[in-house]
Amino acid sequence: MITWPSPAKLNLFLYITGRRQDGYHHIQTLFQFLDYGDTISIEINHSGTLQLLTPVDGTTEENNLIMRAAKLLLIHAEIYGTLSTKVGATFSIEKRIPIGGGLGGGSSNAATVLIALNYLWGTGFSLKYLAFLGLKLGADVPVFIWGLTSFAEGIGDRLLPLILDEKWYIVIDPSVGITSFQIFSDPDLPRDTSRRHIKDLLLNPFHNDCEGIVRKQYYEVEKVMSWLLLYSTPHMTGTGSCVFSEFNTQQAAFNVLDRMPKQWNGFVARGVNVSPLHSFMSSIVG
C-alpha cells in the first residue's frame, strides 16, 4: 500500500466573465497549490473490484470522486486495451481538506487517484489524456492533474503555468459547507466582469467575484473575513467558505493563527508552484 498526497488549492483571485448556455461560467482565476491536504492510501489487486474503506461524510460511494475516478480510468483502460491483467484497488483517505470550503478537495482526490492508478496499474496514459478524463469529473480536476501553479480561463480548464513567489498562508475554515452550485446559480452573482490580460490581473489587487454573495448569505464567513482584516488582507477561495491571508514568513502566519477564535478551524501552509502530488511522483519514478 502506498500513501499519496492529495493537496489543497487556493484561488488567489476569481473573476466571472460570462455564462454559457449549458450553465457553466467563463472565469479567470489563479490556482496556487498548498503543501497541505488529504492523503489517499491505495493498494492494488487483481480481483477486478474497487473498494473505498473509509467513507466520506455526506457522500455516497457511488458519488465519491475517488471511486468515480477509479472507475473512469478502468473503463478507458479496458477500451484501449492497456491492461495486461485484471486489476482492482482498495482506497482509504485521511481527510484534512474541509468539504465545501473552496479548497478543491474532491477534485484533488480525483486527480490523485487518476495519476496514482495510471502508474500502479501501468495503464500508460499521458497527463494530457488524464486531464481529459479529469474534466469529465469536474472543471478543477485538470489543474490538479497538470500539477503546476496556473492561470486558468474558460471554465477553468484552459491553463497557463506560472511561477509565483511561494508565500505562506493562514487558511481559516468557519465550518460552513458551500457548494459551487449554490453560488453559481444565485441570480445576484456578478457575471459580467471584464476579461483582462494576465499581466494586468497580476498588477492589480486580487478579488473574488463570489465573495459578496457568500458574505451576505453566510454570516460565519463574514465574521472570519472581518476578523482577519485586523491583521492582513483576507480573501475567499473558490466559492467559499474558507478564507485565507498571505504572509511573507511562516512565523507571521502562525502569529495570526495563534490569535484565531476557538470556534473556527485553521492551518498554516506554504504555497508551492509544483503540486506535492507531482513532487511525490517524481520521488517514486526518479
147 annotated as a binding-site residue: no
84 annotated as a binding-site residue: no
Give the count of domains, the chain: 1
DSSP state, 193? P
Confidence of residue 57 (pLDDT cuts 50, 70, 90): confident
Mean pLDDT, rounded, of the chain: 96
| CA dihedral sign, ordered 179, 184, 187, 190 | positive
What is the reported pLDDT for 144?
Answer: 98
Best CA proximity match to 227, nearest among 212, 245, 250, 239: 245
Best CA proximity match to 170, nearest among 231, 245, 85: 245
Is the pLDDT at 135 greater than 80? The verdict is yes
266 annotated as a binding-site residue: no
102, 14 contact by CB (below 8 A): no
For residue 226, give the amino acid letter: S
Is the pLDDT at 23 greater than 90? The verdict is no
Q: Which residue has the cell 486531464?
A: 131
101 annotated as a binding-site residue: yes
Structure-model confidence comparison of residues 264 and 22, the more confident one: 264
23 annotated as a binding-site residue: no
For residue 285, give the amino acid letter: V
106 annotated as a binding-site residue: yes
H helix intervals, the chain: 65-80, 105-120, 127-135, 141-146, 180-184, 198-203, 211-217, 219-228, 250-257, 276-285
Residue 225, C-beta contacts closer than 8 angstroms, at least 6 positions apart:
211, 215, 234, 236, 243
Distance CA 265, CA 51 (A): 30
**78: domain CATH number?**
3.30.230.10
Question: Residues with catalytic annotation?
Answer: 9, 140
Task: Give 158-191 pLDDT, tens digit per residue.
Answer: 999 999 999 999 999 999 999 999 999 999 999 9
Q: How far is CA 277 from CA 78, 99, 146, 284, in A?
A: 25, 20, 10, 11
Confidence of residue 210 (pLDDT cuts 50, 70, 90): very high
Range of the domain at 161: 1-286
Is the pLDDT at 28 greater than 80? The verdict is yes
Residue 228, C-beta contacts closer than 8 angstroms, at least 6 positions apart:
170, 172, 234, 243, 245, 256
Instruction: Indicate the pairing of strand 235-236 with strand 158-161.
Output: unpaired
Instruction: Show the cell assigned to 279.
Output: 513532487
Distance CA 152, CA 156 (A): 5
Question: What does residue 152 show for φ and ψ, rounded to 5 degrees?
Answer: -125, 140
What is the reported pLDDT for 99?
Answer: 93
100 annotated as a binding-site residue: yes
240 annotated as a binding-site residue: no
Q: Which residue has the cell 493563527?
A: 257
Distance CA 153, CA 133 (A): 18
Residue 227, C-beta contacts closer than 8 angstroms, at least 6 positions apart:
260, 261
Q: Which residue has the cell 491583521?
A: 231
DSSP state, 159? E
Distance CA 249, CA 247 (A): 6
